[in-house]
Amino acid sequence: MRARRLRLVLSGVMAVLAATVGCRQEMYDQPRYKPLAKSDFFADGRASRPLVEGTVARGTLDPFAPAGGTAAVPLATALPVPLTRELLARGRERYGIFCAPCHDGTGGGRGMVVRRGYRPPPSLHIERLRDAPVGHLYDVMTRGLGAMSDYAQQIPPADRWAIAAYVRALQLSQRAGVADVPPQERARLDASRETGNGKRETKEAAH
């Protein structure tokens, strides 16, 4: 009697195991296409379907403003974020990482990569780029231009705007006059000039 009961229990266990294995095997062997494989189902013969128009990768949607570059969405002419010291500091840091290797620290286009034989980019201080809207700088980072590849994957939108703001500061630094210095800083500048002139006169008198 006990032997018969044991056989029934074992038979039940084996049946459950067989059903489980069979179900799992069906999931392993379910119909599917390999990436870029051919398909007779779709008219174009491609199993991998194109992305829906307007699809963006997670984390890359610009929360501030569109990059522009089309007739419907012109390039931004002003920063879509507040211009702060923190923004410029962030832009300077990111510029040093992603831009300076080609554009150098001042934007002159003589970075280390260029000095080792890479095609030099235009100086960021030429009139064409000084007069370009700030959205152009953002758009080039997003889409690339000429020999420069896009940096959309490496630099998130917020940092692209920070870099664009810092480039504007670089451009201003190369053409700024005394009139562009804030009044509270102008007094310090004048004082440092007078100190420098006094030291020069003392040195000349000693000679």
What is the domain partition of the chain in residue ranges?
85-175
Closest by Cα among 105, 119, 113, 117 to 169: 105
Residue 71 has pLDDT above 60, yes or no: no
In the predicted structure, residue 67 carries a pLDDT above the cut 70: no
With a cut of 70, say whether residue 17 has pLDDT above it. Answer: no
Residue 59's pLDDT band, with cuts at 50, 70 and 90, is low
Contact 166, 89 (CB under 8 A): no
DSSP helix/strand/coil, 38:
strand
Each residue of 182-199: pLDDT tens digit?
Answer: 787 777 877 777 776 555
Is residue 70 pLDDT above 50, yes or no? no
Q: How far is Cα 25 from Cα 80, in angstroms, rounded to an integer?
A: 54
Q: Rounded mean pLDDT of 147-169?
A: 92
Q: What is the pLDDT of residue 135?
A: 92
Give pLDDT tens digits for 115-133: 999 999 999 999 999 999 9
Q: 1.10.760.10, 1.10.10.10, 3.30.470.20, 3.40.190.10: which CATH number matches 85-175? A: 1.10.760.10
Alpha-carbon radius of gyration of the chain? 32
- Alpha carbon separation from 75 to 54, 129, 137, 138, 165 (Å, rounded): 18, 14, 9, 9, 15
How long is the chain? Answer: 207
pLDDT of residue 68: 43
